[in-house]
Amino acid sequence: MDSNLHSPERRLIELRMEHADLDALIDRAGEQVPVDELMLRRLKKRRLALRDEIARLELALDPKEPA
Protein backbone atom coordinates (compact mmCIF):
# COMPACT_ATOMS: atom_id res chain seq x y z
CA MET A 1 0.00 0.00 0.00
CA ASP A 2 2.79 2.41 0.90
CA SER A 3 4.47 1.87 -2.47
CA ASN A 4 1.22 2.92 -4.17
CA LEU A 5 1.36 6.27 -2.36
CA HIS A 6 4.68 7.05 -4.03
CA SER A 7 4.05 5.51 -7.43
CA PRO A 8 4.80 7.53 -10.57
CA GLU A 9 1.16 7.15 -11.64
CA ARG A 10 -0.04 8.73 -8.41
CA ARG A 11 2.52 11.54 -8.73
CA LEU A 12 1.24 12.21 -12.25
CA ILE A 13 -2.34 12.49 -10.97
CA GLU A 14 -1.24 14.88 -8.22
CA LEU A 15 0.66 17.06 -10.69
CA ARG A 16 -2.33 17.21 -13.03
CA MET A 17 -4.58 18.22 -10.14
CA GLU A 18 -2.16 20.94 -9.07
CA HIS A 19 -1.95 22.17 -12.67
CA ALA A 20 -5.76 22.37 -12.88
CA ASP A 21 -5.88 24.24 -9.56
CA LEU A 22 -3.33 26.74 -10.86
CA ASP A 23 -5.36 27.22 -14.04
CA ALA A 24 -8.40 28.15 -11.97
CA LEU A 25 -6.34 30.40 -9.70
CA ILE A 26 -4.79 32.20 -12.66
CA ASP A 27 -8.23 32.74 -14.20
CA ARG A 28 -9.54 34.24 -10.96
CA ALA A 29 -6.43 36.38 -10.46
CA GLY A 30 -6.75 37.76 -13.99
CA GLU A 31 -10.29 38.94 -13.26
CA GLN A 32 -9.32 40.96 -10.19
CA VAL A 33 -8.96 44.69 -10.45
CA PRO A 34 -6.21 45.77 -10.18
CA VAL A 35 -4.37 42.75 -11.52
CA ASP A 36 -1.32 41.73 -9.48
CA GLU A 37 1.07 41.21 -12.39
CA LEU A 38 3.89 39.84 -10.27
CA MET A 39 1.69 37.18 -8.66
CA LEU A 40 0.20 36.30 -12.05
CA ARG A 41 3.68 35.84 -13.57
CA ARG A 42 4.76 33.63 -10.66
CA LEU A 43 1.64 31.48 -10.96
CA LYS A 44 2.13 31.09 -14.70
CA LYS A 45 5.79 30.18 -14.21
CA ARG A 46 4.83 27.51 -11.68
CA ARG A 47 2.14 26.19 -14.04
CA LEU A 48 4.69 25.94 -16.84
CA ALA A 49 7.11 24.07 -14.59
CA LEU A 50 4.32 21.66 -13.66
CA ARG A 51 3.50 21.09 -17.32
CA ASP A 52 7.14 20.27 -18.03
CA GLU A 53 7.29 17.87 -15.10
CA ILE A 54 4.05 16.20 -16.23
CA ALA A 55 5.46 15.76 -19.73
CA ARG A 56 8.68 14.21 -18.39
CA LEU A 57 6.76 11.82 -16.17
CA GLU A 58 4.37 10.84 -18.98
CA LEU A 59 7.34 10.10 -21.22
CA ALA A 60 8.99 7.99 -18.52
CA LEU A 61 5.78 6.02 -17.95
CA ASP A 62 4.97 5.53 -21.63
CA PRO A 63 8.07 5.86 -23.82
CA LYS A 64 7.35 6.14 -27.55
CA GLU A 65 10.31 4.03 -28.62
CA PRO A 66 10.92 0.48 -27.43
CA ALA A 67 13.69 0.16 -24.89
pTM score = 0.81
Q: Which pLDDT value is given to residue 24? A: 96
C-beta of residue 43 within 8 angstroms of C-beta of residue 22 = yes
Question: What count of Cα atoms within 13 Å lies in the side-chain half-sphere of residue 44?
Answer: 10
Question: 66 pLDDT band (50/70/90 cuts)?
Answer: low
Question: 6 pLDDT band (50/70/90 cuts)?
Answer: confident
- In one-letter notation, the amino acid at residue 23 is D
Helix (H) and strand (E) counts in the chain: 3, 0
Residue-wise pLDDT tens digits, 13-60? 999 999 999 999 999 998 988 989 999 999 999 999 999 999 999 999
Interatomic CA distance for residues 54 and 36, integer angstroms: 27
Interatomic CA distance for residues 35 and 26, integer angstroms: 11
Q: Which pLDDT value is given to residue 67? A: 58
